[in-house]
Amino acid sequence: MIRLIRRIGKQLFDILFNEQIKRNLLQAIPFWIASFVTALIAVAYTKLFNFSEGVLQSALSWNRWSIFVLAPVCFFLAWLIVQLYSKNARGSGIPQVMAAIELAGPKYSYAVDKLLSLRVIVIKVISSMLMVVGGGAVGREGPTIQIAGSVFRLVNKWIPKNWPKLSSQSFILTGGAAGLAAAFNTPLGGVVFAIEELSKIHIRFFRTALFSAVIIAGLTAQGILGPYLYLGYPDVQGLTLSIFFGVAGVAILTGMGGSLMGKVIVALMKRKKSFSKTKSAIYVVLSGILFALIAYFINAEVLGSGKEVINTVLFTTEKHSSWDTPIWRMVGPVISFNTGAAGGVFAPALAAGASVGSYFSHIFHIIGPNANILILSGMVGFLTGITRTPFTSAILVLEMTDRHSVIFHLMLAAMISNIAALLIDKHSFYERLKKNYVEENIEREVKDQD
């Protein structure tokens, strides 16, 4: 009996402590550490972002004219801090992560360090907070992905030389997925996003690390913020069969709208490349003044990430947006993004899509749950139009609302909008920006070496 116990014990010991298991465990530990740190930073960033939104609302409640000071001043400061300390912190952050994945390797290690670093994290947070205080139509989700990528890059660099390692690409890719999961509280969306948008390498080599990183980041964020939904529980009960035609119509409009918004942003960025620093500064201040004029005299819904617009049309009786709200929800991100400050387009894209679905339901006198499904389909469609990630868009909205019964409606919207977007531009917004970041950082590295 004692011999049997010893034999079983020895076999268990050999199984638990064989070289392959130890190697896998040692490889996983850095991912777990990076995931935990990512979640803590994502939670802190969320609270700072919400605080900035509160500062804006307090200022507007005190005096609506304050937007004429806040917008130009904050836009300028948000642009200036990026120009002075980290140009790679500008914009969304997702194209930078995509560029870093493409450049990852010994040859362009210096360029990757410019795209993902501690400096980028700090500047990204400060610049985006200033944009929010100024009323800019920006989100925190794209920036969170770059912040997460930077955390994972730093952890990867700090691993001892004798430690079993995975590729730099896998670390950055996993960081992007963990960042999205922590930002939206959408773990499945984070995994799908990594596969659909970020990945150019086969994930079977590090799928366990990817899944565990997303789980750790998501659970840590939930442990601090609570098990929250990004949006809530919209009523989608008792939908009519004919609403599928409405879903298709909204998907076409939003797919084309998202693609158009991305194309306009890229076109303006190309036009601005020739600007001197003085001319760029003037452009940013004028952008802030224009933004303030729109918010004060035309439509205040141009302000902010647009989450309030989504909550209003989904969870109140005010289901129908005015005809110009979709226009200004598209114009707002175009102005904000082209300041050159930090800020993402995920949340603004969702708000623009929601306003399109809301106005569509108004035109055809659709109310209640049927109006809600058009709003959700608009969110999926617009996000698909700008990112060209139909599965990610559908899964994100599904997880944000916990409405699995409408998965076929959302998947239909994603599929149709992805096709409709091709009528405007064959390439996604992020893909075009990624190319710019790759070229910029390779050129900069060559100059520095010379």
- Per-residue pLDDT tens digits for 192-204: 887 776 665 555 5
Per-residue confidence (pLDDT) for residue 445, from 0 to 100: 56
Q: Where are the domains of the chain?
A: 30-225, 243-436
Tens-of-pLDDT digits for all 450 residues of the chain? Answer: 666 566 665 555 555 556 666 666 777 788 888 899 999 999 999 999 999 999 999 999 999 999 999 999 999 999 999 999 999 999 989 999 988 988 887 778 888 889 999 999 999 999 999 999 999 999 998 899 999 999 999 998 888 877 777 778 888 888 888 888 888 877 878 878 877 766 655 555 556 667 777 777 877 877 777 666 778 889 888 889 999 999 999 999 999 999 999 999 999 999 988 899 999 999 999 999 999 999 999 999 999 998 899 999 999 888 888 899 999 999 999 999 999 999 989 899 999 999 999 999 999 999 899 999 999 999 999 999 999 999 999 999 998 888 888 999 999 999 999 999 999 998 888 888 888 887 777 766 555 555
| Contact yes or no for 357/250 (Cβ under 8 A) | yes
Per-residue confidence (pLDDT) for residue 199, from 0 to 100: 63
> Nearest CA to 142 among 182, 96, 93?
93
Q: Burial code of 6-30, b = ≥16 C-beta within 10 A, e = fewer?
A: eeeeeeeeeeeeeeeeeeeeebbeb
Angle in degrees, CA 368, 369, 375, rounded to 5: 95
| CA–CA separation, 441 and 267 (whole Å) | 20
| CA–CA separation, 381 and 252 (whole Å) | 8
Which distant-in-sequence residues (6+ apart) come within 8 Å of 172 by Cβ? Answer: 97, 100, 101, 104, 112, 116, 149, 152, 153, 156
> Nearest CA to 371 among 346, 354, 396?
354
Per-residue confidence (pLDDT) for residue 316, from 0 to 100: 87
Domains 30-225 and 243-436 share a fold: yes
Count of CB atoms situated within 10 Å of the CB of 427: 16
Per-residue confidence (pLDDT) for residue 330, from 0 to 100: 96
Burial class (CB in 10 A: 0-12, 13-18, 19+), 307: middle
- Helix or strand holding residue 213 (H, E): helix 207-225
Residue 108 — φ and ψ, nearest 5°? -115, 30
| CA–CA separation, 48 and 217 (whole Å) | 18
SS3 161: coil
Q: What is the pTM of this model?
A: 0.89
Q: Burial code of 83-109, b = ≥16 C-beta within 10 A, e = fewer?
A: beebbbbbbbbbbbbbbbbbbbeeebe
Which distant-in-sequence residues (6+ apart) come within 8 Å of 43 by Cβ? Answer: 182, 220, 221, 224, 225
- What superfamily in CATH does domain 30-225 come from? Clc chloride channel (1.10.3080.10)
Per-residue confidence (pLDDT) for residue 167, from 0 to 100: 75
Phi-psi region of 340 (alpha: psi -120 to 50; beta: other; left: phi over 0): left
> Nearest CA to 315 among 369, 382, 362, 352?
369
Q: What is the DSSP letter of 132?
A: H
| Contact yes or no for 173/210 (Cβ under 8 A) | yes
Per-residue confidence (pLDDT) for residue 207, from 0 to 100: 63
Residue 243 corresponds to which amino acid? I
Number of H helices and number of E strands within the chain?
A: 19, 0
| Contact yes or no for 96/88 (Cβ under 8 A) | yes
Per-residue confidence (pLDDT) for residue 163, from 0 to 100: 76
Question: What architecture is domain 243-436?
Answer: Orthogonal Bundle (1.10)
| Contact yes or no for 177/31 (Cβ under 8 A) | no
| CA–CA separation, 209 and 189 (whole Å) | 16
For residue 352 the two structure tokens come to 């623009």
| CA–CA separation, 427 and 183 (whole Å) | 26
| Contact yes or no for 376/335 (Cβ under 8 A) | no
